Amino acid sequence: MNTRTGFAAAVVLLLAGVLLVMQPWRKDTDSATTLKTSTASYTVHLVTNRPRAGANTFDLEIKDRDGAPSAMDEVTLQPVMPHMGHAYPPVTAAQLAPGRYRAENAVLPMSGMWRITVTLHGAHGVEQGVFPLMVK
């Protein structure tokens, strides 16, 4: 093998290694952020994919203390950025299935630390869970 062929082979192997590690053809499926909190009556999971400045979608899973899905009369989500004095109107989450809700177009206008307050209106009255969320 001459020097030119050896160099070309090394470049091809290097590029193949970079492509194998980075896999640019794959969708970013591991970027979901999942947070959990509890209220007096419920456990709430909040999931969002790559939280960012702008419109975001939040999925919520709400279970009672026994782990059963809980149907709510209403679920709202309100983004608040306390250190900047920002509070935005609550977004009503639509029920997808018993105990599963989705809030779409929840706007987080800037990067930084947000507090997402989820308000549950259900059989046990009104309860709130708060999630800290870093937006990049």
pLDDT digits (tens, 9 = 90+) for 41-71: 999 999 999 999 999 999 999 999 999 999 9
Correct CATH for 32-135 of 1.10.20.10, 1.20.210.10, 1.10.3720.10, 2.60.40.1930: 2.60.40.1930
Q: Model-level pTM?
A: 0.76
What are 21-31's pLDDT values in tens digits?
555 544 544 57
What are 81-90's pLDDT values in tens digits?
999 988 999 9
Of 92, 109, 110, which Cα lies nearest the Cα of 101?
A: 92
SS3 category, 131? strand
Strand partners, 120: 75, 127
Which stretch of DSSP H or E encloses residue 20? helix 3-22
